[in-house]
Structure 1
Amino acid sequence: MSFTLKEKKGDIIATAIHDFTDRQAYVEQRGHHFFITKTFDEVDAREYQGLYVCGGSAPEYIPLNQKVLELTRYFFDKNLPVAAISHGIQVLIAAGITKSRTMTCYPAVSPDLKIAGGEYKEVLHTEAVTDGNLITSPAWLGHQALLSGFYKLLGIKISM
């Protein structure tokens, strides 16, 4: 399922590919075409068992949509599994649910988390932090740990 701030169902947006260069800073390049399947207003949170909040630059903007904040609060109010990575914590901060929660995030976001009453835990970028129904990771390198923990919170078992 893909959502966006202003586009409508059926529109196509381009994803952004983040890559690191020898300058130690990441660059964004135009990525793949992505079809919008719903707007935020069309989302019924009761149809979902958990929430995954992406990182990147989107979390700076999507909290401007009140429905995003309502959806985020719904999952916390129902104690459903929530995963957030990197800058995705900005959505949780804007929704007002970080107070007294222990989590990690991209280091540059940690001052905002602390101001919002959350406890920042510094971990390796390959790790994740779980606090009740919430699992967070500081960067895309933590996807393995984040998704593994998110699946556990959802009650999903994967075996080979």
Structure 2
Amino acid sequence: MVERGVRLAVDVGSVRVGVAASDPDGLLATPVETVPRGDTVEGGVSRLVEIVQERDAVVVYVGLPRHLSGREGSASEAARTYGVLLARALAPVPVRLIDERMSTVSAHRAMHASGRPGRRQRAVVDQAAAVVILQSALDFERSTGRRAGEPCESDGGGVEQREVSW
């Protein structure tokens, strides 16, 4: 059985980070906000720390982009690096990486189906993708009684030396 409490998910992009949150019972994911990344690798982390504290979150899921084959590429490495930075800033709140294949595609489709014009989608697509990521994690938790994804260790070391291209 997983601990009761608000869960957050983030969809890490090169320009923005979409954020979604659940209710304390972990039933429904809803959009929260889009956090600007700025020019740094750790861009937006301080705002995410504030959101976690404001909502008293018990876990944060970070979307891990993979190819359809399951292989990881440069975007996966960038998400892992961001996850480690976030885990360091949020400790002891756990940060977990969760497969996010197709989350952005699903978010675009849902917004298109709802009639939202393409140019207005950019402002919220990251939030919608975070909702897809979080809802997937919540569904996994309910069906298995365990947290989704893999732990993102805050003591991963070597993050500062990695060169990440966003």
Higher CA-based Rg: 1
The alignment's TM-score, normalised by the length of structure 2, stands at 0.27
Comparing both chains, which one has the higher relative contact order based on Cα–Cα distances under 8 Å and sequence gaps of 6 or more?
Answer: 2
